[in-house]
Structure 1
Amino acid sequence: MSGIPGDTGPAEDAALTRAAQAGDISALAQLLERHRPGMRAVALSVLGPGPDVDDVMQEAALVALRRIVDVRDPEAVGPWLRMVVRNSCRTLLRAAQRVEPKESVPLPSDGGTPEQILQTHALRDWIWEAVEALSPTLRLPIVLRYFSTGITSYQQIAEACSVPVSTVRSRLSQARSALAHTLTATAATAHEDVIRRTEASWQEVRETLAAAERGEFDKVVRDRYSADVSLLTGGRRLGGADLLLAGMDWDLTAGVRQRPLHVVAGRSLVIWEMELVNPPDDPDHCPPGVAWIMSLDGGRFNRVSLHHASRPESVPAPVAA
């Protein structure tokens, strides 16, 4: 690889790290390979021998992909990678102590989302291309886990995918393994611009809601949705385009409005996370939010699965002394 010194140690680590931060996938793959023994030793010391070690190593590779741009001292990338492994181990151990895992993907200290991090550097295109190569059953949980903002815990993903939590764990493990393998096997390659695709989806969700306000949602459905589109919730098919139109009309008539909060846009999977704004005279008409999880076929949405956010539990008023 051009521009990488021939010596080993901190100097080469620094050169590889800078190349990876500039978007060179092969440089990141070399870093992971150089530090694999130390990373694995940390995982073994915390978890002991077993399959969890492989899961943690795969998780660490994905975290490194997302967060390599955050490394401020390129010569210290080895300790940073070992810290990533140690934190992943601790997350796994905390989850194992719970009956129903509720842990969410930790967000960066600046409050940004994993997707926003990906949009700040050239690696974003590679990871999306790798995600697109996954099977649909593996793609949805990995996208929810690492790219959505409100459906990241195992329990939430299980509800959105209508599968048991154990299945979510299994599918995430398989997806991480596939992505980690692709990371270590690939060289940097130019792919379709994810920022452009995401911006187009933001524009589309805004135009869709504006059209619904004007009473033109039926035109949007004709233009962008398949004639045999399926509307689902909880994994159960409720109906097709007629129900999609009726549902939007019911909400608007009741005074409910949707406000887009977050967009995930791939070639085959799009997620719109919305805030549901209820009318003042009926504040509990709808849950606080809904995610439109939509698959595409031939450029048209052919499947829309709605996942509603849970209402926060009400806190009893304090009893007067």
Structure 2
Amino acid sequence: MYAVAYRILGNGADAEDVCQDAAIIAMARLTDLRDPAAAGPWLKAIVRNTCIVRLRTRLPVPAGLPDDSALMACADDPAEIIERHATRDWIWDGVMGLTPALRDAAILRYFTRMNSYQEIARACGVPVGTVRSRLSEARRRLAEALPVTVAGRHRDVGALTAERREEAIALLSSVPSATPQAFFGGRWSPHAEITWPKGDRRIGLSSLFEAFVSDYTDGVRYRVTNVVAGPGITVWENQFVNPPEDPDHCPPAATWLLRESEGRIQSVRLFHAPRPARVCD
């Protein structure tokens, strides 16, 4: 696998990354392999497709796109392929078995649109090099764990994701009510820690509630675009629908990382997608 990747990419570090991504994709697609004798060509095809994705990310970024994430929307995108299998409970069991730091990086990389190294680094508050090393270790551990977890009994992550998606849509489309706790409901701890995109932290739901009220008053609406859920962690992604008279009121989108304990959300970390670069006349 490494030889194929290196021959295409010509870079050792990129080839190693691709091999690790390809290993996870192969684990997620084991049921597609009908003839074990064809495993070699099958794996090489996955490596080649993953290399194509990596090469596409080296292309110049079109005007208005801040990084490589928008270039990843193709049929052979590792994140897209793995996301296709996200409701396979055995994959989630493998991911949830990682340490918190590795798990967060893996979830953002493979199950959300905030999947470039730069975005993950910004979200996790660590250097890009740390993100690379965490993902490398996560892929190594998943490659060992997934063949074991596939045969076991697993929690119904598909049902949990559907439930959490309904929860996200209900909250993000609601009219802010009289008090924070009444608005957020019983699943939200009144002492939840809220971490805003610039890193400032608040205890309690008041600051988040005030942001909802302000946005709603200003005519901003939220559209849920993706929800990923596993035991103890949920990721929401939403687009901001700004009013026509103020199209730049909010950034294009946001990602919410919600952690829970004993059935209640205890912390929320918010990340905003970068605003598109302005095109000068």
- TM-score, length-scaled by structure 2: 0.82
Q: Is residue 84 of structure 2 the alignment partner of residue 117 of structure 1?
A: yes
CA separation of 1:208 and 1:116: change in aligned 2, threshold 3 A: same
Unaligned 5+ segments in structure 1 are: 1-38
CA separation of 1:315 and 1:159: change in aligned 2, threshold 3 A: same
- Determine the structure 2 residue equivalent to 1:163: 126
CA separation of 1:215 and 1:184: change in aligned 2, threshold 3 A: same
What is the aligned counterpart of 1:194 among 157, 170, 175? Answer: 157
One-letter amino acid of the counterpart of residue 79, structure 1: P
Partner-residue secondary structure (3-state), 1:197: helix
Partner-residue secondary structure (3-state), 1:236: coil
Q: Is residue 248 of structure 2 the alignment partner of residue 281 of structure 1?
A: no
Distance 2:145 2:26 in 1: 14
CA separation of 1:316 and 1:97: change in aligned 2, threshold 3 A: closer
Partner-residue secondary structure (3-state), 1:272: strand
Distance 1:267 1:76 in 2: 36
Identity of aligned residues (%): 41
Deviation, structure 1 residue 53: 6.0
Distance 1:116 1:146 in 2: 6
- Determine the structure 2 residue equivalent to 1:31: none
Which is further off, 207-216 or 54-63?
Answer: 207-216
- Determine the structure 2 residue equivalent to 1:138: 102
- Determine the structure 2 residue equivalent to 1:261: 225
Distance 1:198 1:289 in 2: 20
What is the aligned counterpart of 2:189 among 214, 220, 226? Answer: 226
Partner-residue secondary structure (3-state), 2:200: strand
Say if 2:91 and 2:150, in contact at 8 Å, map to a contact too: no
- How many residue pairs get aligned? The number is 273
- TM-score, length-scaled by structure 1: 0.73
Deviation, structure 1 residue 76: 3.7
CA separation of 1:185 and 1:73: change in aligned 2, threshold 3 A: closer
- Determine the structure 1 residue equivalent to 2:261: 297
- Determine the structure 2 residue equivalent to 1:180: 143
- Determine the structure 2 residue equivalent to 1:19: none
Say if 1:256 and 1:277, in contact at 8 Å, map to a contact too: yes
- Where do 1:57-96 residues align within 5 Å? 57-68=19-30, 76-88=38-50
RMSD between aligned residues: 3.3
Unaligned 5+ segments in structure 2 are: 61-65
Work out which of the two has the higher radius of gyration on C-alpha atoms and give 1 or 2: 1
Distance 1:106 1:74 in 2: 30
Partner-residue secondary structure (3-state), 1:207: helix
Distance 2:243 2:55 in 1: 43
- Determine the structure 2 residue equivalent to 1:12: none
Deviation, structure 1 residue 313: 1.5
What is the aligned counterpart of 2:167 among 201, 204, 210? Answer: 204
Partner-residue secondary structure (3-state), 1:173: helix
